[in-house]
Chains A and B, each alone.
Chain A
Amino acid sequence: MSDVFERVKKIVVENLDVEEDKVTESASFIDDLGADSLDLVELVMAFEEEFNIEIPDDVQENIRTVGDAVTHIKAHVS
């Protein structure tokens, strides 16, 4: 499942235009990776497409770090 992290990382790097090594599990999208709230919405859209899942609005609000995203995606991808 480390594959999920790699795929998430690739999307984050592309969307936020950040260095790969900054995208760690504990990195906060907003505080560490320079995302704004609209970037977050777009990231979630990209995750939904990449993993073919739907991330409900109430879950989206709790996705603050790269690790949060990976955890949620792992829970929903079979």
Chain B
Amino acid sequence: MFDLTGRTALVTGASGGIGSAIAKALSEAGAKVALSGTRESVLNEVKGNLPGQGAVVTANLSDTDSVDSLVSRAEDAIGSPLDIVVANAGITRDKLLMQMKPDDWDDVLNVNLGSYYRLTKSVVRGMMKRRHGRIIGITSIVGVTGNPGQANYCASKAGMIGFTKSLAQEVASRGITANCVAPGFIESPMTDVLPEAQKEALLGQIPAGKLGQGSDIASACVYLASDEAAYVTGQTLHVNGGMAMI
């Protein structure tokens, strides 16, 4: 089950905690994996830990040219067309709305949502021709529930969900699925910086009583990327220890 042998994947934000876990899981399932991100040395380290074939492609998602060329650069680097794209890269610029500057808004929307549009558009063309594809957007629980101090981030993540549902409807007849995975609170550099008191309060809201691991998100991605998930599209799979049941 969930065998990705012969498939090729691209994971953005692959140097991060969740991204590297996703890359590793796809690789373990048999896929060749192109890793994209800004930190080349970290990406090389992640690549070194993959059990299968990998390639590193640097990309700055705030630079539209860099995003537009990412798919072709990834396909050149890994040597075959992409079957699976996991759009995992994201940034935060947390502020209360009253203190949020236009740049805080624009940067987050551009990197998190704008690059998802650009990346998807450039990869779907080939997928349509091949009559197969898996688009997986890593969104967030807060894209559905909201979170004070994250109006920009929540808007971008909710936007990914709406975008994915539309795309799913457009390309379903061509063998392409588009789904989101919505992590709850996962141990990562993004949650490590939370104050201890806030972490304690968080745990009280999670029925599972613990933060999730990158591998929890990765498993959801492997499922959605698999042939077994061919009939699942336009969905958001929540992986959050029961923190929100939607």
B170 and A38 within 8 A (CB): yes
Q: Is A53 an interface residue (CB 8 A)?
A: no
Residues of B within 8 A of A38 (CB): 128, 170-171, 173-174
User: 8 additional contacts, CB 8 Å, given A38-B171, A41-B128, A45-B129?
Assistant: A38-B128, A38-B170, A38-B173, A38-B174, A42-B128, A42-B129, A45-B125, A45-B128
A55 to B175, CA, bound (A): 25
Residues of A within 8 A of B171 (CB): 38
User: How many cross-chain pairs have Cβ atoms below 8 Å apart between A and B?
Assistant: 11
Q: Is the interface of B mostly helix, strand, loop or mixed?
A: helix
Chain A: residues with CB nearer than 8 A to chain B?
A: 38, 41-42, 45
Chain B: residues with CB nearer than 8 A to chain A?
A: 125, 128-129, 170-171, 173-174
Question: Which B residue sits closest to A49, measured CB to CB?
Answer: B129
Residues of A within 8 A of B174 (CB): 38
Question: Which A residue sits closest to B174, measured CB to CB?
Answer: A38
Q: List 11 A-B contacts (CB under 8 A).
A: A38-B128, A38-B170, A38-B171, A38-B173, A38-B174, A41-B128, A42-B128, A42-B129, A45-B125, A45-B128, A45-B129
Question: Which A residue sits closest to B125, measured CB to CB?
Answer: A45
Question: Which B residue sits closest to A41, measured CB to CB?
Answer: B128
Residues of A within 8 A of B128 (CB): 38, 41-42, 45
A10 to B107, CA, bound (A): 47
